[in-house]
């Protein structure tokens, strides 16, 4: 099998390739037609076996065996914010997943469109999408063993025409088992995970221990990007200099302080400083809008517009007092 599939080619006498819709370090994703079920369109994710061999060492070192474990895990999942996996098979040097094709834009494209128009995405819309992502991540993390996605980012979240988001691209998904560290190892950052959204523990490579808090970091970084139109500084950049992460309210002054606080809490560098679960973190988003209490932000200057909005009533009162003084002066 070549490194790419040409349009019109048929895989396993069932899936006819229509177009390449995505490509990355792990392989590629194609839109295919299911010839056995006319009218059904699927996404065929083609993964390079050689790279999958990096996933786990020891008795699970065979990349293909690991692929089958993960494919079985995905096939059992059933959630409205996930594409359903319907088939998986090996083909020469590649492993293949067949799942629902999700039409529409991904959130990365939504961000790019907003930037071109010189605006931010509506905070209400972003929070509605985030609530759905919290639902699906809670579902994944509650599986036995827990399932860790490992690569949450705007480009891996599709937006359907009815306003529902779908978390796609399970190239890094791991079955997590706190009693067995081997099942908690991810691929790390060997050209696979996305730097601005990857937690510091993912930098450890195949030996890195990940859990639900790892996905939470990526969710916080994704929310940062959605409300600011810019990706956050990577965990590595922040390790070198914490000031590299600009507080989101400085970029988007209309952002509620509670949302900023939730983002920064999810993006704490050390896992123990993040909430233990997505459900616990979600409560921060629903809390009343309070000033950010992070010590790291105490000395950060606010934009002029934010300062004006916070003190506009004092400015108005001062103006009225000056006006009254002038009137009294002329009346004398």
Assess whether 174 and 212 both reside in one domain: yes
Helix, coil or strand: residue 47: strand
Q: Does residue 129 register a pLDDT over 80?
A: yes
Contacts of 258 (CB under 8 A, 6+ apart): 284, 285, 287, 288, 289, 290
Assess whether 53 and 178 both reside in one domain: no
User: Percentages helix, strand, coil for the chain, rounded to the nearest 5?
Assistant: 45, 15, 40
CATH code where residue 58 lies:
3.30.200.20
Q: Within a domain: residue 31?
A: yes
Q: What are phi and psi of 60, to 5 degrees?
A: -100, 20
* 273 catalytic per annotation: no
Domain endpoint, select from 100, 131, 152: 100
Assess whether 137 and 279 both reside in one domain: yes
Assess whether 167 and 296 both reside in one domain: yes
Tokens of 31: 């839109």
Domain span including residue 155: 107-301
pLDDT, mean of residues 126-155: 94
Q: Within a domain: residue 225?
A: yes
Domain endpoint, select from 85, 100, 115: 100
Put simply, whether the predicted model's pTM sits higher than 0.85 gets the answer no
Assess whether 39 and 133 both reside in one domain: no
Q: Does residue 196 register a pLDDT over 60?
A: yes
Assess whether 313 and 297 both reside in one domain: no
Q: How many structural domains comprise the chain?
A: 3
Under the banding of pLDDT at 50, 70 and 90, the label for residue 256 is very high
CATH code where residue 294 lies:
1.10.510.10
Assess whether 71 and 174 both reside in one domain: no
Q: Does residue 160 register a pLDDT over 50?
A: yes
| Active-site position among 151, 169, 211, 215 | 151
Q: What pLDDT, on a 0 to 100 scale, did the predictor assign at position 323?
A: 59
Mean pLDDT of the chain: 80
Under the banding of pLDDT at 50, 70 and 90, the label for residue 1 is very low
Assess whether 308 and 294 both reside in one domain: no
Q: Does residue 34 register a pLDDT over 50?
A: yes
Gap between the Cα atoms of 174 and 279, Å rounded = 20
């Amino acid at each position: 099998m070549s490194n790419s599939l040409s349009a019109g080619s048929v895989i396993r006498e069932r899936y006819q390739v229509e177009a390449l819709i995505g490509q990355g370090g792990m392989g590629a994703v194609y839109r295919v037609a299911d010839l056995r079920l006319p009218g059904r369109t699927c996404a065929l994710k083609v993964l390079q076996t050689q790279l999958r061999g990096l996933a786990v060492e020891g008795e699970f070192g065979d990349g293909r065996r690991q692929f089958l474990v993960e494919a079985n895990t995905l096939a059992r999942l059933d959630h409205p914010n996930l594409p359903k996996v319907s088939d998986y098979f090996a083909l020469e040097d590649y492993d293949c997943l067949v799942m629902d094709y999700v039409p529409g834009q991904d959130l990365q494209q939504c961000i790019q469109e907003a930037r071109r128009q010189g605006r931010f995405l509506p905070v209400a819309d972003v929070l509605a999408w985030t609530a759905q992502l919290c639902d699906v991540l809670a579902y994944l993390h509650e599986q036995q063993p827990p399932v860790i996605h490992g690569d949450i980012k705007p480009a891996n979240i599709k937006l359907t025409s009815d306003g529902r988001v779908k978390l796609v691209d399970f190239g890094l998904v791991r079955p997590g088992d706190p009693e067995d560290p081997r099942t908690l190892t991810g691929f790390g950052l060997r050209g696979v995970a996305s730097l601005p959204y990857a937690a510091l523990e993912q930098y450890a490579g195949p030996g890195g221990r990940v859990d639900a808090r790892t996905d939470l970091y990526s969710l916080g970084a994704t929310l940062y990007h959605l409300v600011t139109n810019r990706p956050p500084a990577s965990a590595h950049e922040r390790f070198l200099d914490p000031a590299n992460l600009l507080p989101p309210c400085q970029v988007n002054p209309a952002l509620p302080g509670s949302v900023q606080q939730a983002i920064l809490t999810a993006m704490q560098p050390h896992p123990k400083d993040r909430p233990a679960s997505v459900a616990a973190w979600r409560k921060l988003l629903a809390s009343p809008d309070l000033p950010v209490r992070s010590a790291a932000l105490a000395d950060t200057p606010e934009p002029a517009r934010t300062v004006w909005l916070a003190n506009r009533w004092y400015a108005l009162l001062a103006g009225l007092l000056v006006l009254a003084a002038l009137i009294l002066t002329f009346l004398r």
